[in-house]
Structures are given as C-alpha cells and as structure tokens.
C-alpha cells in the first residue's frame, strides 16, 4: 500500500528568456523545442536518476495550440528521449501553469503514487500572443459576469492603483527600476547563469548562434526614464512598460521526488514542499490574487508571514507585487523580496514563470542556511493567485550576522 511522502524539489533549470516577436532571439525556434531543451538539460544534470523511473511529465502552456499543443508533457517527453513508458500531460492555469504542474505532480508524489516527476512550463508569446485563438464566452459580458476590461491585464493593474491610492506610481517606478538593477547585479555575481540551459538559435540571416542570457534586460534604467514613459492601458494612467513584465519566450523544468526516491538514489534536494494554495478574486483586479492564496497556504502550513525568510514574487506588474507587500506590512525594498530581481527585467513567459521563481528561491536557500521558509507566489489571469511555501533543507537554525 502506498505511503504518504514528503515532496522534494530536487532541481530546476530554464532556458534563457527571449524577447517575444520577430526581433526576439527565439522567433525561429519552436515552443516545444524550448521545452525539450530544458528537459534534456534537467535530466543531464541529474543523471543519477534513471529516465525510466520518471512517473509522469506535466508541462504547462497558456495557449495550447500549434507548437504549444499536442499534449506537451507527452510530446516533449518523447522528443527529449525519455522512454516511451514515461507518460505526460498538459496543464493550463494561465500564468500559474508551471506552478500548477509542480503542485499537481507534488500532490501525486505526496500521496505515494509517484516517486519522480518532471514539472514545468513553456510559453512562446511571439508565436502565441496572449489571448490568441481564444473565444471568450459571450455570457461573460452579456450577463455581466466579468467586465470586458478584465481580459486586459494592464487595465487590471491600473485598478489596483484605483483601489489603493497610497500605492503610488513613484513607488511602482522605483520597484521596476530596482528589479532591473538587481537582475544585473545577480548576473554580475554569477547567480543566475548556473541554472540556464543554452539554446541554439537561428537568426533572420540563417546564421546559428547560442542563447546564453536573458534578452531585453535594461540595467541602466533610472527613475527619470520611467517617469517619462507612456501609459498604454489608460490615458494619464500609472502602469508603464517599465513597471510591467515584457512579452517573453522561454521554458522551465523541474525534477520532483518523494522521500523514498531521494533515499534510494542518495539525492540532495534543494527544497521541501510545505504547503500550497490557489485562490480566486474578482477578475477585474486579478493582481491581488496572491494575497488570499498566500493566506491560505500559510494557514495550511501553520505559519505566519513572519516565518517567511525569502520571497520570490512574480512581477507581472510592479503594483501587483507592492499590493501584496503592503497587505502583509512588508517594505517595497525589503531585502528578503526578489533579491535577484524578477520578471520586469528577465521577462514573464506566462506558463513557464512559476518554476523560475522556484529555481531562484532554491539557489538562495543554498546560500542562506539561516532561512527556514520561503514563498513563491504569483497572480493569475481571470482573477486567481497561486502560492507555494517551501522549506530549506540546509536550514541550520543559526541567525545570520
């Protein structure tokens, strides 16, 4: 009979993230090939785990069509050379796709059904712009279930400003600027590169190259630069390109395992899953979604926000992150929050981002044995939030000087 098991994040990798569109480095690269590259890189880095012991592969995408269709978990597993005995599935929870891949596979491991699973996500927003090929049911508007503007993520961000006037544009601009600076500092210190899987890319001229870093970073950003940007979602608004995550292509992948498998193969996991939760809010103000999901996850874990020593929060919009920090009484520039920057600088390939948050938290755990718990959280289109609380296996109980 299967036994309840702890769930471990053994490892995670990602492709460099590229700017979406014809000028982006992945314009001539298939979405599923990005996921394949990440999967191969993950398995090569964890060669102690036999490929035939993987019990399932869950890969998320928001637009499941074209080169992001055909049951990604199964098709990518085959393309990546995993044995035909390894099954797979596709997941969609918009921006929290990869996060949901992890929690779904984690739940299967925790219940004792799986020993190992691969969980991740991919989004090629150049090939599949957000909302493309979608056909929202007319009842949403006709029966006034959802304001039509709820389908425009930038408008929902503007509404956070409306609801919380003390969350100013200046605060948002500063957060966006610091994200750019922190990502560059992390690159300069070699923090992000170890978990990036290089990808061969073909340019418009037919020449081949290699993608090794996130494209589109703007480390020289200043407050003056941001103050002068247009507000595309509303005349005289407060959300700009400088405080929003850019359209992005990329893939992420993680390896999860249960207690027995970790012991059997002598693995050294990077994190242990403590709890997770998803929650719904009004679609018109979807950015506050991580607030109730985090409250639920904390309650399930028997913890408070004060127990969280590191935060990896997806920067869909600066104002969205600030709203969560403000709710929990955390300063915008608290050093525990996104210490290596976030999506405003590196990008947000929708369904892939959840695992990027986990990769960065895991790397920080390794450097911070004084921190016991960390949080990965994100807002989700149509009014949702997702949160996962993790425990640091390197925790030594000693306070950092």
Q: What are phi and psi of 364, to 5 degrees?
A: -70, -40
Closest CA to 111 of 199, 5, 214, 237: 5
The CB density around residue 174, as the number of other CB atoms within 10 Å, is: 18
Domain ranges of the chain: 7-126+246-390
- The residues pairing with 312 across neighbouring beta strands, listed in sequence order, are 376
Catalytic residue positions? 95, 348, 379
- Distances 93 to 32, 245, 282, 283 between C-alpha atoms, Å: 18, 18, 16, 14
What is the Cα–Cα distance from 36 to 76, expressed in whole angstroms? Answer: 5
DSSP per-residue codes, 160-177: HHHH-TTS-HHHHHHHHH
Architecture of domain 7-126+246-390: 3-Layer(aba) Sandwich (3.40)
Residue 206 is predicted with a pLDDT of 87
Cβ density class 319-353: b for 16+ within 10 Å, e for less: bbbbbbbbbbebebeeebbbbbbbbbbbbbbbbbb
What is the Cα–Cα distance from 102 to 97, expressed in whole angstroms? Answer: 9
Residue 275 is predicted with a pLDDT of 98
Residue 401 is predicted with a pLDDT of 57
CB 325 within 8 A of CB 332: yes
Residue 117 is predicted with a pLDDT of 98
The CA-based diameter of the chain, rounded to the nearest angstrom, is 63
Residues in the chain: 401
CB 126 within 8 A of CB 21: yes
CA angle 344, 325, 223 (to 5 degrees): 45
Provide block-wise average pLDDT over 10 residues at a time, the chain (401 residues). Answer: 92 98 96 98 98 98 95 98 98 97 98 98 96 86 85 92 96 98 98 98 91 96 96 95 97 98 98 98 95 98 98 98 98 98 98 98 98 98 96 88 57
DSSP helix/strand/coil, 398: coil
Total-model pTM: 0.97
3-state SS of 314-365 is: CCCEHHHHHHHHHHCCCCCCCCCECCCCCHHHHCCCHHHHHHHHHHHHHHHH
Distance of alpha carbon 7 from the chain centroid: 19
């Amino acid at each position: 009979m299967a036994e309840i098991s702890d769930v471990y994040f053994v490892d995670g990798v990602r492709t460099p993230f590229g700017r979406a569109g014809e000028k982006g480095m992945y314009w001539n690269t298939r979405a599923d090939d990005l996921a394949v590259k990440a999967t191969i890189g993950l398995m090569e880095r964890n060669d102690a785990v036999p490929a035939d012991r993987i019990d399932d592969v869950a890969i998320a995408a928001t637009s499941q069509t074209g080169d992001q269709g055909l049951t990604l978990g199964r098709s990518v597993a085959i393309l990546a050379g995993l044995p035909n005995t390894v099954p797979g599935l596709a997941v969609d929870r918009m921006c929290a796709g990869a996060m949901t891949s992890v929690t779904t596979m984690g739940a299967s491991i925790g219940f004792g059904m799986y020993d190992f699973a691969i969980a991740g996500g991919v989004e090629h927003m150049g090939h599949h712009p957000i909302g493309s090929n979608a056909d929202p049911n007319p009842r949403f508007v006709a029966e006034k279930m959802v304001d039509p503007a709820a389908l425009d993520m930038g408008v929902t961000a503007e509404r956070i400003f409306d609801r919380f006037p003390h969350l100013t544009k200046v605060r948002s601009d500063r957060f966006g600027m610091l994200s750019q600076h922190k990502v560059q500092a992390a690159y300069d210190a070699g923090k992000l590169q170890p978990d990036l899987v290089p990808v061969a890319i073909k340019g418009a001229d037919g020449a081949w190259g290699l993608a090794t870093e996130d494209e589109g970073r703007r480390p020289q950003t200043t407050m003056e630069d941001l103050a002068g940007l247009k507000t595309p979602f509303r005349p005289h608004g407060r959300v700009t390109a400088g405080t929003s995550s850019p359209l992005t292509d990329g893939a992420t992948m993680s390896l999860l395992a249960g207690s027995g498998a970790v012991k059997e193969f002598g693995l050294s996991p990077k994190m242990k899953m403590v709890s997770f939760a998803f929650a719904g809010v009004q679609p018109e103000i979807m950015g506050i979604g991580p607030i109730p999901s985090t409250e639920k996850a904390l309650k399930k874990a028997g913890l408070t926000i004060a127990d969280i020593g590191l935060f990896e929060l997806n920067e869909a919009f600066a104002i969205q992150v600030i709203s969560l920090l403000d709710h929990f009484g955390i300063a915008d520039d608290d050093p525990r929050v996104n210490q290596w920057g976030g999506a405003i600088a590196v990008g947000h390939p929708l369904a892939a981002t959840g695992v990027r948050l986990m990769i960065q938290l895991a790397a920080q755990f390794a450097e911070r044995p004084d921190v016991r718990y960390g949080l990965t959280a994100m807002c989700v289109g149509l009014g949702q939030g997702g949160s996962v609380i993790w425990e640091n296996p390197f925790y030594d109980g000693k306070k950092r000087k």
